[in-house]
Amino acid sequence: MDVIARNRKAHFQYEILEKVETGIVLTGTEVKSIRNKDVSINESFAHLDNGEIFLYEMHIGQYKQGNRDNHEPKRVRKLLLHKKEINKIAGKIKQKGYTMVPLSLYFKDGIVKVELALVKGKTMVDKRDDIKKRDVEREIQRAMR
């Protein structure tokens, strides 16, 4: 697995409940830009629309050697999931406070995959607790050395 992009803020801002691996519909110039690692998934999110899941706000830079058929950087991209998986996720998304965000974008056997997570937003108290735990673990590691 060759990881191209990670959403590092997702683990801090959200409580991750479930992960799923999905395919994504891309054009040729998008794949070439992804191979050049000209991609950002930090602000992107997934949304259910007419029984299909789409990825919004994912930025894939234009391919430098592309011609007039080059892609639009922030277009909406369709995610590839089985109907059974979509129905399973759809029931959970409809609950208040739940959403889906991509955690990482990677190549698996030459095909671009997205690790999508069902998440619930954390409160400020939860974020503070995470920071305290991380600081305590750092102090323990320093003392062990």
CA distance 118 to 77: 18
Choice between 142 and 73, residue whose per-residue pLDDT is larger = 142
List strand residue ranges (DSSP E) for the chain, in order. Answer: 2-6, 14-24, 39-40, 45-49, 52-56, 59-60, 77-80, 98-108, 111-121
Is residue 8 within 8 A of residue 102, CB to CB? The reply is no
Domain hosting 130: range is 2-144
* pLDDT value for 76: 92
CA distance 82 to 84: 5
For the chain, how many residues are written? 145
Structural domains counted in the chain = 1
- Dihedral, 9, 13, 16, 20 alpha carbons, nearest 10: -40
Which pLDDT tens digit goes with each residue over 14-46? 888 989 999 999 888 888 888 888 888 988 999
* pLDDT value for 56: 93
Reduced to 3 states (helix: H, G, I; strand: E, B; else coil), residue 2 is: strand
Task: Report pTM.
Answer: 0.80
- Kindly report the CATH number assigned to the domain that includes residue 27: 2.40.280.10
Selection from 15, 16, 6, 36 nearest residue 103 by Cα? 6
**The residue type at 86:** I
